[in-house]
Amino acid sequence: MKAEQCDKTATDVTSEWMFLKGEGWRPDLSCLCLLHKTYKTIIEIDAENGRSFVFKAQTSGTTPANTPGNTPRHPNKVKLCRDDAYVSDWRFNAHALSQKLESGAGERMIEMTVGKWSFKIQDPIESARQVFNRFDVNGDNDISRDELKPMLEAMGYIITDEQVAEMMHKADSDGSGGIDFDEFCGMLELHAIQRNMLVTTSDSSAELWLTIHGFIYCAHDGKDEALVVQRGSCPAYTVQKSAAWLELGRADEALKRAQRQDRLRG
């Protein structure tokens, strides 16, 4: 892949992920390869195919025979993941790629566009603001008790009126009778900020989230399924999207739940 094919911004992402252009090991394809520096997860994206990618949970070593797609006989086998989050075996020797990445090649992840894929840093404060604005019905930058309960329900809480009153009391630090945006950020504990990279494609509504511990791949809007690969581990099954969102951090999780609520209402 030629450098000019990447439309980059100057913003670095605070992330464990690195990227490497596809020249040298896959001359037949225009590829972008992503590497998690700690857990050595590899994701290889074909810039021209926005519906699937291949990945390997670890770059080196054999894995137990019960791990999907990896056996001691084929330690370099990777997995093919499609936009419906279905994972299948994909025979591909990752050894040369692993050596190249582990030798220090690659650049820090940045916001960019590569072929049909767009990489965007998620700002937790902006995600929280989008959730807040959805429920600040009268636009006074204050969430009332009547607005708080539907907000919490959209974020996945099963909560009583008494619990809403208790949360309102704890969050309303200035005693105004409502929750302003700063107090809402305190509720979400955004002092422990997790910055994710959201990867989307023009070919599908599926989402690839690069997190501090690995990645989450959420199927297209018509299917409630997600793949969670964390800490160098590939599970034998997929999960519902709501379970996968727990790995995103409070702000992005809240945003995804609020967006789902909007779609259900629509």
Q: What tens digit of pLDDT does each residue of 77-117 get?
A: 678 888 998 887 665 555 555 565 566 567 888 888 888 99
Place of tokens 């690659």: 106
Judge whether residue 207 has pLDDT over 90: yes
pLDDT tens, residue by residue, 8-47: 333 344 568 988 765 554 555 577 888 888 888 888 888 8
This prediction has a pTM of 0.76
Q: Are strands 196-201 and 117-122 parallel, antiparallel or unpaired?
A: antiparallel
The number of beta carbons lying within 10 Å of the beta carbon of residue 232 is 18
Positive or negative: CA dihedral 63, 68, 74, 78: negative
Structural Rg of the chain based on CA atoms: 20
The dihedrals phi and psi of 200, each to the nearest 5 degrees, come to: -125, 165
Distance CA 116, CA 201 (A): 5
Positive or negative: CA dihedral 46, 52, 57, 61: negative
Distance CA 148, CA 184 (A): 10
